[in-house]
Amino acid sequence: MVLGRAIAGGVGLMLMLMWLSPAAADTYESATFTGAINGGGANVKAPFSTDGFTQGETFSGSFVFDVQSVPVAGSGFVNVFFSSFPDIGAIPNATAFGFSIQSLATPDSLGFNLGDALVQFPTQEAAIQYNNGQFNGFFYVSDFTFQGSPFELQIQGSVFDVVPIVNGNPTFTHLINGHINVGDNSLTDVLAFTPGGATSVPEPAAFALLAAGIFGLGVMRRWRR
């Protein structure tokens, strides 16, 4: 009888400690990527060419990725959507994904982040693309306005384009053509990242564990008395 109470108390304490211990969470890292507008005058056209955006101009950006979601080698092309991150709600849009291209002649710049795609395309998800487990760019679409006219940025893997929007629809006229440098060796400043303010809400099973732990502690306390 005494032994049974001691075991019950020990089990209760173990269950309570299990409930209080933080659940295993996904691991995140942040990284910097680079890219450039393609060389040659045909890759930058008005109104961007006349505003100081230049062929061959380089840029950089940053993003956060879920280490557990990185595909294994040999898996081919895989898009990992930002919305699949368990803690995406605790990662600011500009931190999750963002980059800008600065005009070399004027203060103007073209800046984008994850929120731009989500606001304008509620059903359109942005993603990190991998090729056989290696960074291969992004999948991303966002409308924007430049000098009073509508345009659309399209990123498909390592290739990006800016096209005009006519009558509400993107055209096939490429005004900027560029690329993103791919491969894990092109990523820099790879650092551990912790989503800010991320909290976990206990599920019903966790509450059951807590109740069992409290009961076990009560049994052990009565036995000691």
Per-residue pLDDT of the chain (225 residues; tens, 9 = 90+): 444 444 444 444 444 444 444 444 799 999 999 999 999 889 999 999 999 999 999 999 999 999 999 999 999 999 999 999 999 999 999 999 999 999 999 999 999 999 988 665 555 679 999 999 999 999 999 999 999 999 999 999 999 999 999 998 999 999 999 999 999 999 999 999 999 844 444 444 444 444 444 445 454 455 454
Residue 67 structural domain: 26-195
Overall number of domains in the chain? 1
Q: Is residue 59 part of a domain?
A: yes
Report residue 165 CA to chain centroid gap: 27
Q: Is residue 167 part of a domain?
A: yes
Q: Is residue 128 part of a domain?
A: yes
Count of CB atoms situated within 10 Å of the CB of 38: 19
Q: Is residue 98 part of a domain?
A: yes
**The model's pTM:** 0.76
Instruction: Write out the H or E segment, with its range, that includes residue 65.
Output: strand 58-66
Q: Is residue 154 part of a domain?
A: yes
Task: Please check whether residue 84 is in contact with residue 67, taking contact to mean a CB–CB distance below 8 angstroms.
Answer: no
Task: Please check whether residue 133 is in contact with residue 75, taking contact to mean a CB–CB distance below 8 angstroms.
Answer: yes
Q: Is residue 143 part of a domain?
A: yes
Q: Is residue 19 part of a domain?
A: no
